[in-house]
């Protein structure tokens, strides 16, 4: 009798493991597919040698009907570091088809005590989740239904001040077209005029 109960418990544990390991990712992908969310798989970045602003786009595909997919962008972020102090060091991207994380790094000169200048590393992480259709920028979370264009201004300490524009531009646009869109949306912003 005890042996029979042990087999039932073992079968139950194996069934739970099967559901957790195999079915959860399939369920997530099905939800993304059915909801029309962007399945992320690449990042486009537009930078300039004249300034340190950068325009970031996380793109992929979304289902529009039946089996038809189209290129789309989850969000666009215009990142504006303090002028003249931050120098871009690089970035890393990580995507698993459900979420996409982009970490951008800068070097920032710092004075300590005397005339010695030290380069301090600063970073900004942006994470898109296709299931929740939200973006995390720094420590803030933003719903993409409220707009998928962001202006991210970094202060001298590298902390982001985020403005979410109430506009959705979800088609896969050329990064230069998006720059022009930001210029039209915020015509009085000096940092944006430089794009």
- Average pLDDT, rounded, for the chain: 79
C-alpha span between 195 and 182 (Å, rounded): 9
What are the backbone dihedrals phi and psi of residue 96, each rounded to the nearest 5 degrees, phi first? -125, 15
Same domain for 58 and 13, yes or no, is no
Burial state string for 110-145 with b = 16 or more CB within 10 A and e = fewer than 16: eeeeeeeeeeeebebebbbbbeebbbbbeeeebebe
In DSSP terms, 142 is beta-bridged to 135
Q: What's the pLDDT score for residue 7?
A: 72
For the chain, give the percent of residues with pLDDT over 70: 77
Q: Is the four-CA dihedral 17, 21, 22, 27 of positive or negative sign?
A: positive
Tokens of 73: 């962008």
pTM of the model: 0.77
Same domain for 51 and 93, yes or no, is yes
Number of domains the chain is built from: 2
pLDDT at residue 141 tops 80 = yes
Same domain for 31 and 20, yes or no, is yes
Same domain for 151 and 187, yes or no, is yes
C-alpha span between 92 and 103 (Å, rounded): 5
Query: Residue 10: which domain range?
Result: 1-35
Same domain for 71 and 125, yes or no, is yes
For the stretch 16-61, pLDDT in tens is: 667 666 655 656 666 666 666 777 877 777 676 566 788 888 888 8
Same domain for 24 and 119, yes or no, is no
Same domain for 25 and 65, yes or no, is no
Overall average pLDDT of the 70-83 stretch: 86
Same domain for 122 and 189, yes or no, is yes
Same domain for 27 and 43, yes or no, is no
Same domain for 19 and 109, yes or no, is no
Which of the two residues, 5 and 115, has the higher pLDDT score? 5
For the stretch 111-125, pLDDT in tens is: 655 555 677 788 889
Q: Is the four-CA dihedral 37, 91, 186, 142 of positive or negative sign?
A: positive
Same domain for 140 and 161, yes or no, is yes
Same domain for 98 and 137, yes or no, is yes
């Amino acid at each position: 009798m005890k042996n029979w109960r042990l087999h039932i418990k073992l079968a139950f544990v194996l069934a739970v493991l099967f559901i957790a390991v195999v079915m959860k990712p399939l369920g997530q992908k099905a939800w993304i597919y059915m909801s029309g969310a962007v399945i992320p798989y690449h990042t486009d970045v537009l930078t300039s040698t004249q300034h340190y602003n950068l325009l970031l786009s996380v793109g992929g595909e979304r289902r529009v009907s039946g089996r038809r997919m189209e290129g789309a962008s989850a969000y666009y972020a215009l990142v504006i570091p303090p002028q003249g102090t931050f120098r871009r060091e690089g970035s890393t991207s990580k995507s698993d088809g459900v979420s996409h994380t982009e970490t951008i790094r800068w070097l920032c000169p710092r004075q300590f005590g005397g005339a010695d200048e030290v380069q301090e590393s600063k970073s900004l992480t942006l994470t898109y989740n296709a299931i929740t259709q939200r973006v995390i920028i720094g420590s803030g979370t933003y719903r993409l239904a409220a707009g998928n264009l962001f202006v991210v201004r970094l202060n001298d300490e590298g902390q982001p001040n985020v403005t979410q524009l109430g506009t959705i531009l979800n088609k896969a646009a050329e990064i230069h077209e998006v720059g022009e869109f930001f210029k039209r949306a915020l015509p009085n912003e000096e940092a944006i005029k430089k794009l």
